[in-house]
A = this chain, B = another copy of it.
């Protein structure tokens, strides 16, 4: 059996159920390449689980998953994953491979950045349109800008996730993402992301030193939000409770949220 277990957003974000399942597993793997788990203490986690945790990278999971699958054929394998397990395509692939090999699979859910970032900013989840990822300039994509335009036309909020390359030790910061989005605005000008657009930066969601800051894009770009992970929210039409929440919890000025 192969059990995907969400680590949530924070070093102690695993659920009691997830911990119990990992404790009962014969082998425990963890992938830490699809997202960052703030303050993850791998040694501490191993102690809680009571067995070693083998960290695997994208190449292993996507190209050489045989060790994982063979172990899951004969025993119980826990596969720890940042956030909620199936948000990344790579985990759906692994689960499909397991199913095709006749291996039972199971998911233990964890907190995910989507609802967390919305909640930290005081924005309502059901008013978010589709989300998108801002990718690094060497792998350019217009999708985040096009998604933003589409959502804005409908008054919806947009969550922009920021690219990560764990092996290279790179995780995009909000300032880089803003620069890329401003570049897309210049290229495909639809007035959806300018220095005057209201946006929210959420840094290190789920941790004790999370920062949530709403301001004009031009000002946010100049601020230092500390270490990653960062995400960017571009609000659509604000309900008055959302406007109030942005002032109280994200330090937005009155004129920004009117």
Contact = CB atoms under 8 A, between A and B. Distances in A.
Nearest to A99: B248
Contacts of A12: 15-17, 20
A244 interface: yes
A48 to B, nearest CB: 7
A60 B248 CA distance: 23
A96 B244 CA distance: 8
Interface residues of A, number: 59
Interface string A34-57: 000000000000001000000000
Given A10-B17, A14-B15, A89-B241, A126 B115 contact: no
Interface string A1-18: 000001011111111110
Given A19-B16, A89-B241, A84 B107 contact: no
Contact of A122 (B92, B109, B111, B114): B92
Contacts of A107: 116, 119-120
B15 A93 contact: no
Contact of A99 (B112, B205, B249): B249
A110 interface: yes
Identify the interface centre among A109, A126, A130: most chain B CB within 10 Å of its CB. A109
Contacts of A32: none
Interface of A: 6, 8-17, 19-20, 48, 83-87, 89, 92-93, 95-96, 99-100, 107-112, 114-116, 118-120, 122, 124-133, 150, 154, 156, 205-206, 241, 244-245, 248-249
Given A15-B111, A114-B125, 11 more contacts: A8-B110, A11-B17, A16-B16, A84-B112, A86-B119, A87-B119, A93-B241, A95-B245, A109-B115, A114-B115, A128-B130
